[in-house]
A and B are shown apart, each in its own frame.
Chain A
């Protein structure tokens, strides 16, 4: 881990580059460069198997990749998850151990559960449940909210809307817009109709390359075969 003191005050810039990942002969990620700033929501789109989750896990530090560089304000932070308060990561799979009571999970993550779910009063009835006792959609929403409200400069979300019902997706999107004032969000999700309006910057992972989309994003997504119409 970097010995350089990380200053969590003021705007933060998370940069990742030099990320090259291959599975056998297949090059999944090739020389990626990506930037997320606090105050931004960055969307990461790509076809199934394009390496979106691998990229998020590499930035988070859970996946060791030779030559990968993750920097915050120019200071190297590898593995990034060791740096307290820097970033958190919502994986595609359930985040919380099934036997862990929600209240305890929130305490360990340093999150006030009442505040985190203030916009979702229906969730309050489930505060005394264990993670494994929740429905898939409720568990997903609660996990996303816990990480969104945790005191980190960045949050990396891998399919946060998956399984969440539409009315909650809208509220969750508003919550993300509100909280981006104090943190940077990197989101990947196939629900592009919900993701695109949220994003300040959109990247597309295409054939191992990360393309920053500017201008008419939908048209470019069609051109690269991510959207049909």
Chain B
């Protein structure tokens, strides 16, 4: 397995461990805020603010993860992936998933 493939797999593996909370927050924001706003016809300009709100929850997930699973990084370190790279990649991936969800929601209502 190449270095890049290993690191992508490592990030996806790590994302799975934090996905329940991160996807839960995304679903809550999309379904409880964006969906009603779009039904009422004023959801168009809301997405940047919602994305920022979503990104603002990342430190909370990071903090909880550090407190609940402080020993979760050893495998990733052995693959040469640092904490910073793991979390940076996971936050980026989660933001893309969030945006994908918003686009899908919009498309379903169009």
Contacts and interface: CB of A to CB of B under 8 A. Distances in A.
A97 B77 contact: no
B75 A60 contact: no
A150 B16 CA distance: 25
B82 A96 contact: no
Interface in B12-44: 13, 16-17
A178 interface: no
Given A62-B73, A62-B77, A105-B75, A79 B82 contact: yes
A81 B13 contact: no
Given A107-B1, A108-B1, A108-B10, A60 B16 contact: no
A124 interface: no
A108 B16 contact: no
Interface in A107-131: 107-110
A108 B74 contact: no
Contacts of A93: 71, 74
Nearest to B7: A108
B79 interface: yes
Nearest to A146: B78
Given A84-B3, A108-B6, A108-B9, A95 B79 contact: no
B74 A89 contact: yes
Residue among B10, B74, B79, B80 with the most chain A CB within 10 A? B74
A95 B1 contact: no
Contacts of A105: 75
Contact of A82 (B1, B13, B72, B80): B80
A186 to B, nearest CB: 15
Interface in A55-110: 60-62, 79, 81-84, 88-89, 91, 93-97, 99-100, 104-105, 107-110
A44 interface: no
Interface in A135-184: 147, 150
Given A60-B77, A84-B3, A91-B74, A100 B13 contact: yes
Given A93-B74, A96-B75, A84 B1 contact: no
Contacts of A88: 78
Contact of A81 (B1, B9, B17, B77): B77
Contact of B75 (A83, A95, A107): A95
A81 B73 CA distance: 12
Nearest to B5: A108
A148 B73 CA distance: 19
A94 B16 CA distance: 18
Given A81-B80, A108-B1, A97 B72 contact: yes
B75 A100 contact: yes
Which 9 pairs, one residue from A and one from B, show the smallest C-beta to C-beta distance? A93-B71, A91-B74, A88-B78, A81-B77, A95-B74, A84-B80, A108-B6, A62-B77, A96-B75
12 contacts: A62-B74, A81-B80, A89-B77, A89-B78, A94-B71, A95-B75, A97-B17, A99-B16, A100-B75, A107-B1, A108-B6, A108-B9
Interface of B: 1, 3, 6, 9-10, 13, 16-17, 71-75, 77-80, 82
